[in-house]
A = this chain, B = another copy of it.
């Protein structure tokens, strides 16, 4: 039986942008350039006015010559489809020996000719939305190393961004730390991971255990969170991830302008202190020593002159550091984790 692992991607990447002209549709590619520039060989644009990520333009041949290992679809069209006009270039990349990596809804196997091309050239077609088969059931066994998990008052409140910013800040402070991805864009940035929301529900915590394996005692895994225990659509994902991650620390992520649960219009967002309390209570099952080290708030929806006041008042109310990693460093969170490391 093969060893079961996370999905692992081969860098460097050639980022495919096609004919897309709006920056929003190219945010996957932009995220790669922002968070893992060392993995990016270049970009492939099919038109002169395609989005420009500021990295070298390359043809497939040039990328292969430069050592690229994967063509990563860096754009998402409305509906998540793979444009059939892209099929020729994707087939060419596969024939040239590049793995093809996609986070779109359309499976790569649906791209005309691509399955045959991949079989002939021996490259992998990697749909990062799809969980690996044969994941283990969670066993709850204590692992070495330290873990901090992003949790949230809702979906899409900045958990991935916070995890990436905190990992960067830890590394800059000389702390061993690795970003651990649980969603498709995070996986492309990390170069590995499991899309935990597509795992069969019996295996959520087992997948989470694989995502942050045992490590050096002083090493921090900084784990991308998903959903919220207070989101009636996705709380099961959040709880399995919380248990399997066995976090020593959690960071609560919140969007200051969010009032209503994103997927459920009948539900108001939980209070910050209540949300921290329930996440800690549940997390204690697999790590009785877990603490919350702070709140990461996306304040971009507030008037600029109210942001500092909001963070300061929230911090006084709950007695924890509250930061917006988009506008300041994660220094306060790094300090908290360093205190845990010295225990």
Contact = CB atoms under 8 A, between A and B. Distances in A.
- Most chain B CB within 10 A, of A197, A201, A229, A240, is at A201
Nearest to A234: B202
Contact of A204 (B137, B236, B263): B236
Interface residues of A, number: 41
A139 B264 contact: yes
Interface string A44-70: 000000000000000000000000000
A204 to B, nearest CB: 4
Contacts of A204: 201, 236-237
Interface stretch (A81-89, A93-101, A277-285): A277-285
A127 interface: no
A201 B264 contact: no
Nearest to A263: B137
Interface string A293-330: 00000000000000000000000000000000000000
A334 interface: no
A201 B206 contact: no
A196 to B, nearest CB: 7
A237 B202 contact: yes
Contacts of A105: none
Given A197-B200, A197-B201, A286 B232 contact: yes
Contacts of A237: 201-202, 204, 236, 240
Contacts of A196: 201
A178 interface: no
Contacts of A236: 201, 204-205, 236-241, 243
Given A141-B264, A267-B285, 19 more contacts: A131-B200, A138-B263, A139-B233, A196-B201, A198-B200, A199-B200, A200-B200, A201-B204, A204-B236, A205-B232, A205-B233, A229-B239, A232-B285, A232-B286, A235-B239, A235-B240, A235-B285, A237-B240, A278-B282
